Amino acid sequence: MAYDLIIIGSGPGGYVCAVKAAQLGLKVAVIEKRATYGGTCLNIGCIPSKALLHASEVFHQTGHSIAELGVDVGKPTLNLEKMMAHKDATVKSNVEGVSFLFKKNKIDGIQGTGKVLGEGKVSVTNDKGEEQVLEAKNIVIATGSDVAGIPGVQVEIDEKVIVSSTGGIALEKVPATMVVVGGGVIGLELGSVWQRLGAKVTVVEYLDTILGGMDAEVSKQFQRMLAKQGFDFKLGAKVTGVEKSGSGAKVTFEPVKGGDAATIDADVVLIATGRKPFTEGLGLAEAGVALDPRGRVEIDGHFRTNVPGIYALGDVVRGPMLAHKAEDEGVAVAEIIAGQAGHVNYDVIPGVVYTQPEVASVGKTEEELKAAGVAYKVGKFPFTANGRARAMLATDGFVKILADKETDRVLGGHIVGFGAGEMIHEIAVLMEFGGSSEDLGRTCHAHPTMSEAVKEAALATFFKPIHM
């Protein structure tokens, strides 16, 4: 039997595409080489890291800030094994959720490694080396990404002492010292987990700023907050070597602007210098599927590769490597294959860093607007002036809104603060509907909420805030 659609990869892009396509009446199969569905995100990425971020934050708060609220519990003790068990249970319930969705939507999940054999044909090889060839009218490549390592540097990741994010969510004990190579999202999130649990964390970052690409004002203030929490930063520092040394590892780095190299020792080194599209063993070259110069599967505006009937989405194609971007692409591809008009608005894809406080952003940064020569206006509001934030001792941070100077249309929103990752969505919805800062400022917000800071920042953008 030929399927309407075979998807290779069951991460957020692949499984969402499968569910949507099945909902639209297509006969769908998903090929997955891992033992469980859900890809990097559910198995070793977003979901387990959030379980650890939450648990480590509760541990940290219990030891620090709740006494100020009048809650005395004494010094907390860490049960890392139990914390990891919570993480594993979270993963299990999420990956089982995907299995349930497949059953509910009559999607065939096929365990094994998929390979594109050309138009309409895919082979699957299971653990025992048995191969079968499946036929489909359409094929979707949703194979995601893999750890990129440090560009130009040979590093042996053993996932014990020198770890990627995979080992970084599974350490057996809290290291006394940890060096994080790369001050991007993974480095700061996992660095936060181990810092809260007691590690002394040093971040070595090539750029002069952490979270490169974020609004500069946000990343600067966020860096100060992390430094206050105990993070040490070596910025403008290029890591040129990481090697095992005794029971730990040694990191060599040199100033990007030139100067003497230095070394730093740590019990554990986390390599968090980006991810690369995963296309190995997929048979793309033989099938004639073109890659772009950065090794990503090349697609047109409708997710079509150069080979008819073969589509690609998620981390393996251009754009931010984010689970929710892949999910939206999955929906769009399913709709396109089903003959509908699938579309993703790349101007409104939120990004969240799940640290404490969280950092969230959507749309353009101030630097991007400047570079594009757009006339813009800015409105800001600090959480120190928000009643709910004071009540919760969560006054660190601010909301920043950027709008077109002429039309007042909101072009970007940036939040650093408690719950930023939830609050950002009201700006995203506003932007999706082409709303203005006045629209947002005139929308009644419940009092007292942190979200009132978003409203106040909008008021500040088109006229003046009330509470400042």
Residues that bind ligand NAI (CB under 6 A): 150-151, 181-187, 189, 204-207, 212, 238-239, 272-275, 321-322, 351-354
For residue 64, indicate whether it is catalytic: no
Least separation in angstroms between residue 258's CB and ligand NAI is: 15
Whose CA is closest to 207, among 226, 225, 181?
Answer: 181
Cβ neighbours, 10 Å, residue 370 = 11
Nearer to ligand NAI, 284 or 352 (CB): 352
Whose CA is closest to 139, among 159, 117, 158?
Answer: 117
Least separation in angstroms between residue 420's CB and ligand NAI is: 12
User: Which residue is catalytic, options 64, 343, 447, 467?
Assistant: 447
Least separation in angstroms between residue 53's CB and ligand NAI is: 10
Least separation in angstroms between residue 325's CB and ligand NAI is: 9
Nearer to ligand NAI, 95 or 193 (CB): 193
Least separation in angstroms between residue 385's CB and ligand NAI is: 28
Nearer to ligand NAI, 56 or 138 (CB): 56
For residue 116 the two structure tokens come to: 């594109």
Least separation in angstroms between residue 136's CB and ligand NAI is: 30
- Burial class from Cβ neighbours inside 10 Å (0-12, 13-18, 19+) for residue 446 reads exposed
Nearer to ligand NAI, 144 or 248 (CB): 144
Active site residues: 447
